[in-house]
Structure 1
Amino acid sequence: MQWYEDDSLWSDFAPTMFSPGRAEQAAGIVASSPLLDFPPGTRVLDLCCGPGLFLVPLARRGYTVTGVDLSPSMLERARAACAEAGADVRLVRADMLDYVEPGSFDVVLNVFTSFGYFDDPEDNLRVLRNARESLAPGGRLVVDVMGKEVLAGWIGRPQAVDLPDGSYVVQRDVVLDSWRRLRTDWTLVRGTSARTASLTSFLYSAAELHDLFVAAGFTDVECFGGFDGGGYDQHSRRLIVRGVRK
């Protein structure tokens, strides 16, 4: 079983990965980002939607929203969040390696570093090709990751995050394969017990992810340093790449 297929990982570490602060951040991004400003009724796919942090804000903007995720527990959280908010969102359990709905969307989003999960580089390229096939002509793919250049500027000692129930999570990042991949080790300490999980993913520079979009058949590929649409440079906190299906 691959790490991303372990549903208990997502359940155990959800309070850290998807905190209330992150939910507020997602709502603020959707409300203000020029990269997410679309006409009402735009068909938006949130690929790897997790517990739905982006789903409700997207639906509130008047978009027709679909969320796709492999994790049953994350989809259940997303379903509950949408029901509580009265948001009409379609949820689908599927693996992004295989999921395709030809020509069904105007926008595909993949956010919070949910890209690069697969050990085989060709599989990550396949995810982009799947997204392209799911887009209507003129549709756009937006991928948000921790860029290699950004990570190099802050990676360091382990970080600890306190949780509301008194437990805490220690995060440690390890660069692998000459800066090709990253392993993030999460240790959840609750009372006298501890549980550790390791997440691995590919690391991409702006140039590398740009070229991967081109290899997948996208045109007009652009790189941004944040959802404000600013350029990608040494001050950026995220790497966001957008491409168009012609």
Structure 2
Amino acid sequence: MRWYEDEELWTEFSGTLFSERRRAEAARTVAASPLLAFPPGSRVLDLCCGPGLFLVPLAARGHDVTGVDLSAAMLGRARAALAAAGAGARLVRADMLEHVEPGRYDVVLNLYTSFGYFDDPEDNLRVLRNAYASLAPGGRLLVDVMGKEVLAGWIGRPQLADLGDGGYVVQRDTVLDDWTRLRTDWTLVRGTTAREASITCFLYSAAELRALLETAGFTAVTCYGGFDGAPYDQHSRRLVVQGTRPGGPAPSPP
């Protein structure tokens, strides 16, 4: 079983991965970000949507949103969050390595470091090509990751997250293969029990991720240091890369 197929990982570590603080941050980002200011009724694919941190506020703004995730548990939480918000979205259980809906979307989002999961670099490129195929002409892809340059500024120090219920998570990061990949080890402690998990993903610099999008066929590829549209520089905390499928403006939603 590949690490991202482990349902217990997503559910047991959700307090760290998908905390209420991060949910509130996602809602503020959707409300304020110029990169997420889509025309009303845009057809948006949230690829690896998880429990709906971005999906819910996007749907609440009136967009035609589809959330895709491999985890049935996370899709269940997204469904509950949509219901609580009085919003609607289409939810699909699928692997991003396989999911393609030709020409269906105006925007494809892959957010919150949900890219680079596959050990074979060609598989990560295939995800971008799937996104390209799923976009209408003129549609946009946005990928949000922890850039290699940003990570280099703080990696090496264990991180401790208090879950607020008496439990806590210790996170340790290890760079692998000459800064090509990252392994993150988590230890979840509750009372006298501990649960350990590890994930691995590819690391990308801005130049590397821009080149990968261009290889997949995207044009007008631009790197930002956050969803505020700031330049990607030494002050950045995230790497957000946007590319366009050429062919003119995307058609209006039906």
Structure 1 and Structure 2 fold alike (TM over 0.5) = yes
Q: Which deviations, in whole Å up to 9, do the C-alpha atoms of 1:168-215 show, x marking residues without a partner?
A: 100000000000000000100111111110010000000000000000
- Aligned match of 1:6: 6
Q: Which amino acid aligns with 1:157?
A: R
* Aligned match of 2:197: 197
Which residue pairs with 2:82 in the alignment? 82
1:206 & 1:157 partners in 2: Cα distance?
23
CA distance in 1, matches of 2:159, 2:223: 29
Query: What amino acid maps onto 1:59 in structure 2?
Result: A
Task: Give the match's secondary structure for 2:153.
Answer: helix
Which secondary structure does the structure 2 equivalent of 1:79 belong to? Answer: helix
**Where do 4+ consecutive residues of structure 1 move more than 4 Å?**
none
Q: SS at 1:9's partner residue? A: helix
Q: Residue type matched to 2:178 in 1?
A: S
| Count of residues paired in the alignment | 246
Greater shift, 231-240 or 153-162, is seen at 153-162
SS in structure 1 opposite 2:56?
A: helix
Q: Is 1:175 the counterpart of 2:175 in the alignment?
A: yes
Whole-angstrom CA distance in 2 between matches of 1:67 and 1:120: 25
Please give the alpha-carbon distance, in whole angstroms, between the structure 1 residues aligned to 2:194 and 2:113. Answer: 25
1:96 aligns with 96
Question: What are structure 2's unaligned runs of at least 5 residues?
Answer: 247-254
Q: What is the SS of the residue equivalent to 1:171?
A: strand
**Length-normalised TM-score, structure 2:** 0.96
1:242 alignment partner, SS class: strand
In structure 2, the residue corresponding to 1:117 is in which secondary structure? coil
SS of 2:117 mapped into structure 1:
coil
Corresponding position of 2:222? 222
Separation in 2 of the partners of 1:60 and 1:161? 30
Q: How does 1:28-177 map to 2 (within 5 A)?
A: 28-177=28-177
- TM-score in terms of structure 1 length: 0.99
The Cα shift of 1:61 comes to 1.6
Contact 2:65 / 2:90 at 8 angstroms: preserved in 1?
A: yes
8 Å Cα contact 2:47/2:69 also seen in 1: yes
Match of 2:186 in 1: 186
Post-superposition Cα deviations, 1:138-159, rounded to whole Å, max 9, x if no partner, equal 0000000000000001112211
Indicate yes or no: 2:17 matched with 1:17: yes
> What is the CA-CA distance between 1:164 and the residue it aligns to?
1.9
Structure 1, unpaired ranges of 5+: none
1:11-62 deviations in Å (ceiling 9; x for gaps): 0000110000000100010000000001111000000000000111101222
Q: Match of 1:154, SS?
A: coil
CA distance in 2, matches of 1:14, 1:68: 18
Deviation at 1:64, TM superposition (A): 0.6
Q: 1:231 offset after TM fit, Å?
A: 0.6
